[in-house]
Structure 1
Amino acid sequence: MTQDGKLETQVTVEKLRNGRWAFVLRRGTVVYPATGQYSSQLQAVSAGQQALKAIVSKG
C-alpha cells in the first residue's frame, strides 16, 4: 500500500516463449496473469497502460 492508503498497481511487459509480447498487472498482492499476444513491445505497453487506467478508475 502507498502512503495515501491506495493499493500499489503496476504493469510489466514480458516476452513470451513464442516471441510475442504480453503484459502482467499487479495490484497489491493480486497478480493478473500475462494477457495478450502482441507482435511488438510497444503494443503490449500501450494495452497494459489502458488496462491499468481502467482498473485504477474503478477504484
Structure 2
Amino acid sequence: MSNDSKPATQVTIEKLRNGRWAFVLKRGSVVYPAHGQFASQIEAISAGQAALKALEAKR
C-alpha cells in the first residue's frame, strides 16, 4: 500500500461546554471522539500533536 492511498489523519482542537479544551482525531472518514479535558488550548494542541505522532509511528 503506497502512502498516497492511506487516509489523511488530522487533529482538531475544540472547546468543550464546560470551558475546557479537547482534541479530536480524524482519519479518513472516521472521527474519534474528543480526548482530554485540558485547561488551556496550548495543552490540547500539544497532546493532540503527540497523539498524531504516535499514530503515524505505528503505520
Report if TM-score (shorter chain) is over 0.5.
Answer: yes
SS of the residue corresponding to residue 50 of structure 2 reads helix
Counterpart CA distance in 1 for 2:10 and 2:39 is 21
Q: Where does structure 1 lack aligned partners over 5 or more consecutive residues?
A: none
* 1:28-43 map, 5 Å: 28-43=28-43
* Sequence identity (%): 68
Per-residue CA shift, 1:4-53, capped at 9, x if unaligned?
22211000000000000000000111111000000000000000000001
Which structure: greater helix fraction?
2
Aligned pair count? 57
Q: RMSD value over aligned CA atoms?
A: 1.1
The match for 1:48 is 48
Alignment of 1:1-59 (within 5 A): 4-59=4-59
